[in-house]
Structure 1
Amino acid sequence: MPETAAAGPAPATAEPVTATARFWSSAARLRNAPWGLLVLAVTVGAGAGLGSIAFRWLIVTFTRLFSGHADYAGAEHGPNPHVPWLGPFFVLLTPVVGGLLYGPLVDRFAKEARGHGVPEVMLAVAQRGGRINPQVSVVKALASALCIGSGGSVGREGPIVQIGSALGSTLGRTVRVSEDRMRLLVACGAAGGIAATFNAPLAGVFFAMELILATFSVEAFGATVLSSVTASVIGRAAFGDTAFLVLPPFHVEHLGQYGLFAVLGVLAGATGVGFTRILYWVEDACDWAWRGPEWLRPAAGGLLLGLVLLALPEMYGVGYPVLEKAAHGGYVAGFLLLLVVGKILATSLTIGIGGSGGVFAPSLFIGAMLGAAYGATTHQLLPGTAGVAGAYALVGMGAVFAGASRAPITAVVILFELTGQYSIILPLMLAIVLATLTSRLLSPDTVYTLKLRRRGIDLNAPAPGARLGAQSVESVMEGFPVPLPSAAELPEAADRLRLSDHGALPVVDTEGRYLGTLTARATAEALAERTDGDVEPPTTAGDLAEPTPPVTTDMPLSTALHALVTAPGTGLPVLDPDHGQVLGWLTHQSALRALHAPSAT
C-alpha cells in the first residue's frame, strides 16, 4: 500500500514540469533564433490590431449608451433618445457618470492610465527598459472608452499606443528578451495600434520610430513594419480599406498659395505650442483647486466639462464629423475660431480633471479649424490666389500636430494616409517644417515631453535612482590613445588600428585639433577598393575620418552613453568643451568602472 500510494503522484508531477520545460525551450528559441524577432513582431502586431478593434467597439458602445448617438459631436444639441425629457441638458450629467466609473478604476488598478498615455510609453522605453505594467492595457482601454463615450474631448491614439505597447512589453517579459528587444517590442505595439486604429501602416511605423524609440535603425524599421502591417491587415478586415477621413480632392492652383501655406505653418506652430501650454496650465489649476480623493476628481470636474459641452456640443468625444464638415467649408470663419478655443479648453479640462485619452486627435481638430478659418479669410481677401479653404484645413491639421509634438515625418505621413490626398503634399511638407521650426524656437519641450519634465523627468538624463549615468564623463574617461595625424597613409593607419583595443582612433590635424574618428572597418574597406578608374579611393587617415557626436568632459555620462551606442567602433573621444582638443576616451567598459569607483577610494 505505501508503495502504491507513493507511486501514484509521480505522473501528475512529471507532466507540469515537462510542459514548463517545453514553454521555456520555445521561449529560448524565440529569443535566440534569427527569425525570433519576426515572430514576436507579428504577434505583437496581431495583438495590437485585435486590441484596437475591441477598443473602438468599446468607444462606440459607450458613446451610444451615454448619448444615444454613434458620435454626438455632429448631433448639434440633439436630445438623448434614452432620456428625451432632458433635451440637450443630458450632457451636463454624462461626464459626471462617466467619471464615477473610470475614476475609481484608474485610481485603484493603474494610475499610469490617467492622461494621454504616450509620455508614459516614452518614459518606459527611455529609462525603464521597456517595462510596462501589464494591467495598463485593460485599464486604459476601459477608462479611455468610458471617458470618450461620456463626452471627454480627447482622442483615441494615446490609449491605443499605450494598449499596444503594454502588450508588447508583456510578451517581451514573458519570453524574457533583452532590454533592447523589449524596447523594440514596445515600439512594435505602438506602431500596430496606430496602424490599425487609423488604417495608416506607414504612420504607425514612423510614429513608433520618431516618438517612441527616437532613433532609426534597419532592425527597428523591419520589426515595426511587420507589426504595423499585421495590425493594419486585421484593422482593414474589421473596418474596411478606406481613407480614415473622406475629403474632397484639393489642388494648388496658384504659386502664390505657397506663401499663404508658409504663413499658416508659422501660425500653426505657435498654436501647437499654445495648446501645449494651456493644457498644462489647466491641469495645474485643477491640481490646485481639487482637495478631495483622486478617484472622485473626474466626476466632480465633469460638471465643468458638461457646461462646455452644453455650450459647444461639437466638443463631445473625438469630433471627427465636425472636422470633416469644417474641411468641406460647412462653418464660417468666426465659428471656426470659436471651435479652436473650445477644443483647447475642453481637451485641457478633460485631461486636467483626470480623464484618459490622447491629444493627437485634438491637435488635428484644432489644426483643421484653424486652417479652415485661415483659408476662408484668405479666400475672401485674395479670391484669385487663395484657392479653396478645405486645402488649408488639411494642411493646418498636420502643422498644428507637428507644432505640438515636433514629429514632422509622422505628421506628413499620417496626413497623407488619413486623407489619401497626395496632391497637397508639397504645401503640407512646407507648412509642417515651418511649424516644427516655429515650435522649436518658442519652446524646448513638446506636448509629450513637457508632461514628464514637469514631474522632474528628463528622458536624456539618468533614471532617478540609477547607479550609472549621473557621473560626469571626465570622472570615468580613460586616457586617450595616441591620435593619428590626418596625413597618415592608410597602411600606417591600418597597423596602428591593428594594435588598438578599440577598433577606432582619433584623427587630428597638424595643429592638434580633432577632426574625427578613423575606424578599422572604414580602413579595411578603403584598402580593399580598386585603384583604377576615374575616382581615386581615399589614401590618408584624414580622408576617412568620420565626425562623431560631440562628447565633452563636462557632459553627464547618461547623455554621452546615448552617443556611444550609435558611434562607430567601440569608443568615443572626449573633448575639451572650450578648445575642442582630445582629452580622453570613453568606452562602455570605462563607464561600467564608475560603478566600482566608490569602493576603490
Structure 2
Amino acid sequence: MKEVQNTLKSIVENPRHIFKLTVQGVLVGIFSGLMVCLYRFLLNGSEDILRGYLKIINGNIFYIALFFIFLIILGLLTAYLMRWEKDAMGSGIPQVNAETKGFMDVNWYKTLFAKIVGGVFTALGGLSLGPEGPSVQIGAMAGKGVSKLFKESKTDELRLILVGSAVGITAAFNAPLAGVVFILEEINHGFDKTLVFIALVSAIVSDFISKIIFGQSTVLSFPISNIPLSSYWLLIVLGLVLGLLGYAYNVGMIKAEDLWAKIPKLSLEVKFVSVFLVSGVIALIIPEISCGGHYMMGMLDVAVPSLGLLLLYFALKYIFSIFSFSSGAPGGIFLPILVLGAYIGAIFASFFIPICGLENVLIYKFIIISMAGFFTATVRSPITGIVLLSEMSGSTESLVAMLIVCLIAYVVPTLLGNEPIYEALLDRLLKRRQEEFTPEPSRHVLSEYIVPLECKYIGVEIENIPFPKNSIVVSVIRNGSYVIAQSDFKINYGDQIHILTDVNDFPYANREIEEIINGR
C-alpha cells in the first residue's frame, strides 16, 4: 500500500509528470488540430462541389440521373465503411463519452479514418449533418493516438482523449475556451486541474493552427446592438420558446431513432442508400437546407429572409436534420442545432421587433442569443453555449442577455423531464454495446472527483461511505495540500478525491461513485 501511495503522490504532484503531460498536450494540439482542420477543409470542399454540381444540373435529365447514381454509390460506400468501423457512426460525442467512462475501447486509427471519409461522403450527399460532433471524436482519437505512442497509463490516456475532444471544438469553431469548457461540462462532468491546464495548452496550439489555415476572423460577423432594458421581458419569452422547442427537438430525435429501429430487416445498405436518395431530392427541390447549415447561416448574414421563408426553412431544416442524424450516418447535430437556434431567433425578432418598435439591427442580437439558448435547451450545457457564442461572435456584450435566456431554456425541458440529447444518445449507445463489452488486461485508473455542497457524506469518515468495493480512496487534495486518505478521514466540501479502480470495473464503479459524491 505504501508503494502505491508513493506512486500516486508522484502522479498527482510530480512536476516532471505534469511537464511530460504538457509536452504531450502540445503534441495532441498539433496532431488533433491538423486532423480536425483537414476534416473541416474536406467538408467545405465537398459542400462546394455539391452546390457547384447542383447549379450545372439545370433540369438536365442525364445529369440528374448521374447525380442519383452517385448518391446510391455514396450510400453503399458509407454503409460499407460503417460496417468496417461501427464506432464511427453518428455524432461521435456519445462514443467519446462512453470511452472516458470506460465502456468502450475504440480503435483510434480506424475510427479516425472512417469518421473523416464518412463525413466527406455525407457532405457530398447533402445530408443535414454538422462537422462539430465528429470533430470532437476525431480530436479525441488523435489524442488517444498520442497516448498510445507514449504508452501512457490508462489514467493519462483518458486525459489525452479529453484534451483531444477540446481540440475538436476549438479547431471547428476557433473557440479554445469553449472547447475546454465543453469537456468539463458535457463529457468529464468534473474539475481536474491537471486536465484543464493541459487542455488549455492544447487548445491554444490547435487554435493557432486553425487560424493559420482558415484565418483569424470570427465565425459570426453580425453587427451587435444592445436590447433596451425596458424590452428585457422579451428575453423571458424567448427563453420559454427555446426551452419548448429544444424539448420538441430532443423528443423528435429519439422518436425518429425508434422509428428506424422498428423497420423490419432493414440493412445498413438499404438505410443509407434511402437517406442519400432523399437528401438528393431535397438538394434538387430546396438546396438551401442541404448540408450542415453554413449556407443557411450565410443567408442571414446577407439579408434576413421574410418571416414566411424563415418559418419554412426552419420547419424543413428541423425535419431534415432529425431524419439525417437518426439514420446513424456519420455526422453531428452541433451545427444544425446552432442553425435552428439562429432561425428561431430570426423568426422571434421578425415578429416582435415591429410590435415593440425596436431597431431592425437587433435581429442579429436575437439570433446570437437564440443560438446559445437552443444549444442549452437541447444539450443542457449553458456555460459552453454562452462561451461558444461569445467566441464565435467575438463579443461579450450579449453575456447578460444570453444568461437570462439560457437559464430559462435550461429549466423548461428539465422540468418537463427531458434528458439532454447527448446523455440520451449515450444511454442508447451503452444499451447496444453492453453485450459486446470485452475485458481488458488488468490496469488501474485513477479518477478525480470534486465534493459538491449537496453531497450528503460531508463530514463522514471514508470507511462509512458506501464506495464500490472494487474502488480505493487513495488520496485527497484539500486547500492545495496533498493528504493520504486513511479510513477515518472525513471528507469536506471542495475536496478533490482520488479513487483507484481497475480498468474493467471502472465503467460501473465510476457511475456509482458519481451518484454517491453528487448526492443522488
TM-score by length of 2: 0.79
| Correspondence for 1:189 among 164, 171, 189 | 164
- Preserved contact between residue 222 and residue 301 of structure 2 (Cα < 8 Å): yes
- Preserved contact between residue 89 and residue 329 of structure 2 (Cα < 8 Å): yes
- What is the CA deviation profile of residues 271-314 of structure 1, one whole-angstrom value per residue up to 9, with x for unaligned ones? 12211111222222223236343134211232223333344311
| Correspondence for 2:26 among 18, 22, 42 | 42
Tell me the amino acid that sits aligned with residue 54 of structure 1.
Answer: L
Superposition deviation, residue 134 in structure 1:
2.8
Q: Check 1:385–1:418 CA distance in 2 against 1; reply closer, same or farther (3 A cut).
A: closer
The correspondence of residues 411-430 of structure 1 with structure 2, limited to 5 A, is 411-430=385-404
Q: Check 1:233–1:383 CA distance in 2 against 1; reply closer, same or farther (3 A cut).
A: same
| Residues 1:161 and 2:136 aligned together | yes
Query: In structure 2, what is the equivalent of residue 397 of structure 1?
Result: 371
Runs (4+) of structure 1 moved beyond 6 Å?
463-468, 545-549
| Correspondence for 1:291 among 265, 268, 276 | 265
Query: In structure 2, what is the equivalent of residue 229 of structure 1?
Result: 204
- What is the CA deviation profile of residues 85-143 of structure 1, one whole-angstrom value per residue up to 9, with x for unaligned ones? 25996776664443233221121x21111111111110110124775543101110110
Query: In structure 2, what is the equivalent of residue 73 of structure 1?
Result: none
Superposition deviation, residue 31 in structure 1:
12
- Preserved contact between residue 462 and residue 486 of structure 2 (Cα < 8 Å): no
- What is the CA deviation profile of residues 382-407 of structure 1, one whole-angstrom value per residue up to 9, with x for unaligned ones? 11489722211111111111111011
| Correspondence for 2:351 among 377, 389, 393 | 377
- Preserved contact between residue 112 and residue 120 of structure 1 (Cα < 8 Å): yes
- Preserved contact between residue 155 and residue 359 of structure 1 (Cα < 8 Å): yes
Query: In structure 2, what is the equivalent of residue 102 of structure 1?
Result: 78
The correspondence of residues 333-412 of structure 1 with structure 2, limited to 5 A, is 333-384=307-358, 388-412=362-386
The correspondence of residues 17-416 of structure 1 with structure 2, limited to 5 A, is 33-68=17-52, 79-81=54-56, 85-86=60-61, 95-107=71-83, 109-128=84-103, 132-252=107-227, 254-289=228-263, 291-326=265-300, 330-384=304-358, 388-416=362-390
- Preserved contact between residue 157 and residue 194 of structure 1 (Cα < 8 Å): yes
- Preserved contact between residue 35 and residue 138 of structure 2 (Cα < 8 Å): yes
Larger mean Cα displacement after TM superposition, 205-214 or 379-388? 379-388
- Preserved contact between residue 125 and residue 279 of structure 2 (Cα < 8 Å): no
- Preserved contact between residue 399 and residue 435 of structure 1 (Cα < 8 Å): yes
Tell me the amino acid that sits aligned with residue 77 of structure 2.
Answer: L
Query: In structure 2, what is the equivalent of residue 447 of structure 1?
Result: 421
Superposition deviation, residue 427 in structure 1:
0.7
Query: In structure 2, what is the equivalent of residue 561 of structure 1?
Result: 513
Q: Could you say which structure has the larger radius of gyration?
A: 1
- Preserved contact between residue 395 and residue 431 of structure 1 (Cα < 8 Å): yes
Q: Check 1:374–1:213 CA distance in 2 against 1; reply closer, same or farther (3 A cut).
A: same
Query: In structure 2, what is the equivalent of residue 75 of structure 1?
Result: none
| Correspondence for 1:504 among 489, 498, 503 | 489
Superposition deviation, residue 60 in structure 1:
2.8
Superposition deviation, residue 329 in structure 1:
5.0
Q: Check 1:331–1:176 CA distance in 2 against 1; reply closer, same or farther (3 A cut).
A: same
Measured on the aligned residues, the alpha-carbon RMSD in Å equals 3.5
Tell me the amino acid that sits aligned with residue 170 of structure 2.
Answer: A
Tell me the amino acid that sits aligned with residue 486 of structure 2.
Answer: D
Q: Check 1:226–1:258 CA distance in 2 against 1; reply closer, same or farther (3 A cut).
A: same
- What is the CA deviation profile of residues 235-266 of structure 1, one whole-angstrom value per residue up to 9, with x for unaligned ones? 001011110122122222x1133210121112
C-alpha separation between the residues in 2 aligned to 1:40 and 1:435?
38
C-alpha separation between the residues in 2 aligned to 1:412 and 1:82?
42
C-alpha separation between the residues in 2 aligned to 1:256 and 1:386?
16
Larger mean Cα displacement after TM superposition, 55-64 or 216-225? 55-64
Does the residue aligned with 1:504 lie in a helix, a strand or coil? coil
- What is the CA deviation profile of residues 539-574 of structure 1, one whole-angstrom value per residue up to 9, with x for unaligned ones? xxxxxx88999xxxxxx965442367x79xxxxxxx
C-alpha separation between the residues in 2 aligned to 1:87 and 1:396?
43
Q: Check 1:154–1:290 CA distance in 2 against 1; reply closer, same or farther (3 A cut).
A: farther
C-alpha separation between the residues in 2 aligned to 1:195 and 1:441?
32
C-alpha separation between the residues in 1 aligned to 2:353 and 2:69?
41
Superposition deviation, residue 457 in structure 1:
4.5
**Please, which runs of 5 or more residues in structure 1 have no aligned partner?**
1-29, 70-78, 469-476, 482-497, 506-516, 519-544, 550-555, 568-574, 578-601
Q: Check 1:478–1:447 CA distance in 2 against 1; reply closer, same or farther (3 A cut).
A: closer
Q: Check 1:219–1:478 CA distance in 2 against 1; reply closer, same or farther (3 A cut).
A: closer
C-alpha separation between the residues in 2 aligned to 1:257 and 1:427?
11
Q: Check 1:243–1:434 CA distance in 2 against 1; reply closer, same or farther (3 A cut).
A: same
TM-score by length of 1: 0.69
- Preserved contact between residue 270 and residue 438 of structure 1 (Cα < 8 Å): yes
C-alpha separation between the residues in 1 aligned to 2:495 and 2:215?
48
- Preserved contact between residue 368 and residue 394 of structure 1 (Cα < 8 Å): yes
Tell me the amino acid that sits aligned with residue 244 of structure 1.
Answer: V
- Preserved contact between residue 264 and residue 431 of structure 1 (Cα < 8 Å): yes
C-alpha separation between the residues in 2 aligned to 1:407 and 1:500?
33
Tell me the amino acid that sits aligned with residue 103 of structure 1.
Answer: A
Give aligned pairs, total.
460
- What is the CA deviation profile of residues 5-52 of structure 1, one whole-angstrom value per residue up to 9, with x for unaligned ones? xxxxxxxxxxxxxxxxxxxxxxxxx99733110011111111111112
Query: In structure 2, what is the equivalent of residue 536 of structure 1?
Result: none
Tell me the amino acid that sits aligned with residue 100 of structure 1.
Answer: L
**Please, which runs of 5 or more residues in structure 2 have no aligned partner?**
1-13, 445-460, 466-482, 498-507
The structure carrying a bigger helix percent of its residues is: 2
Tell me the amino acid that sits aligned with residue 398 of structure 1.
Answer: A
- Preserved contact between residue 342 and residue 368 of structure 2 (Cα < 8 Å): yes
Q: Check 1:239–1:226 CA distance in 2 against 1; reply closer, same or farther (3 A cut).
A: same
- Preserved contact between residue 386 and residue 403 of structure 2 (Cα < 8 Å): yes
Does the residue aligned with 1:34 lie in a helix, a strand or coil? helix
